[in-house]
Amino acid sequence: MKICIYGVGAVGGLIGARLASEGSAEVSAVARGATLAALRSGGVRLQSGDRLTQAPIRAAEEPAALGVQDVVVVSVKGPALPAVAAGIAPLLGPDTVVLSAMNGVPWWFFDGVAGPCAGMHLESVDPGDVITAAIPARRIIGCVVHLNASAPEPGLVVHRMGNGLIVGEPDGSSSARVQQLAQLLAGAGFDVTTSSRIQNDIWYKLWGNLTFNPISALTGATGDRMLADPLVMGFCTAAMEEAARIGDRIGCEIRQTPQERHAVTRRLGAFRTSMLQDAEAGRPLEIDAIVGAAKEIGERVGVATPTIDALLGLIRLYGRTRGLYPQAHG
């Protein structure tokens, strides 16, 4: 099986390194600049505890150099998606699957669902349907990532905790391609769950990330410090209650209280969210798919979101003043 990683950061790098090391797939990557140079000279390096492994993968700046793939793993941050949409075509054959392993609400979220939200387009995530045109939902297998990793330098992934991947078809079907991909990822060492309602799994993860990601970027705080402040927790709880009401309207019910989720998060200790890592590294912030999408969906289904709105305004302003979010966007 030919698998291409489009976005060799923390998650994409981890998946690529595990698959390449396991040896059951021919793994390649689309990369640029220092990451491309690092992959060509030393492959992708994976640090897990005291163990450092190195796996060679074929890397190219132009997707056309890699040719048609069986699976393309798209694991970029939201701001990079338009560039992926513009360049991905040479990797796609008639039956190529795109594994969408990203944070937040994806462009295909309302494809394959029933009810009043079926086929809803999200302008905050995919302005002008550019991404949908390049990567339609029929190609997608959704992936929800439950692990903590970072990419401190080009070509190096540090895996800290967690090992979970949830995969599923947008329409909830139990397809042969989902089962095949789940087996491949499990063989590479991941704890894989197949889901008949991947949108629920996406919304549940968003329910937690919606607050902790932007607040960590705004404050520079790790998870334990945010949890220790009762006023911050009160703000998070209010935003999570709004997101849960949205979930009820779109068929993604949250069967947990914010306090129960806080207890789960507390066990993770002093973790640094992906948005905090991006802010500290001066990388574009993934605001739209995480916070902007929640606000837009709330508006579309008639749920007031004053706390989410305030959070969106604050993190958007933070990003704009530091050049990490477009001045004219949103």
pLDDT digits (tens, 9 = 90+) for 262-305: 988 888 888 888 899 899 999 999 999 999 999 999 999 999 99
- pTM for the structure as a whole: 0.94
| CA dist., res. 321 & res. 330, Å (int) | 15
Active site residues: 205
| CA gap 260, 262 in Å, rounded | 5
Pairing, β 69-74 against β 92-100: parallel
| pLDDT for 322 beyond 60 | yes
Q: Which residue reads 């338009």 in tokens?
A: 82
pLDDT over 70 (residue 329): no
CA dist list (Å): 272 to 134, 183, 219, 222: 33, 30, 12, 5
186-210 confidence digits (pLDDT tens): 999 999 999 999 999 999 999 989 9
Alpha-carbon distance 280 to 272, whole Å? 11
Tell me, which fold does domain 2-196 have in CATH? Rossmann fold (3.40.50)
Per-residue confidence band for 148, with pLDDT thresholds at 50, 70 and 90: confident
Structural domain spans, the chain: 2-196, 200-321
**What number of other Cβ atoms are within 10 A of residue 52's Cβ?**
11
Looking at CATH, the fold of the domain delimited by 200-321 is given as N-(1-d-carboxylethyl)-l-norvaline Dehydrogenase; domain 2 (1.10.1040)
Given pLDDT bands bounded at 50, 70 and 90, which one contains residue 330? Answer: low
- Listed residue (131, 129, 112) closest to 121, CA to CA: 129
Q: How far apart are CA 113 and CA 128, in angstroms?
A: 21
Side-chain-side CA neighbours of 109 within 13 Å: the count stands at 30
Interhelix angle 176-187/10-22, nearest 10 degrees? 80
Is residue 314 left, alpha or beta, with left meaning phi > 0 and alpha meaning psi from -120 to 50?
alpha
Q: Are strands 2-6 and 51-55 parallel, antiparallel or unpaired?
A: unpaired
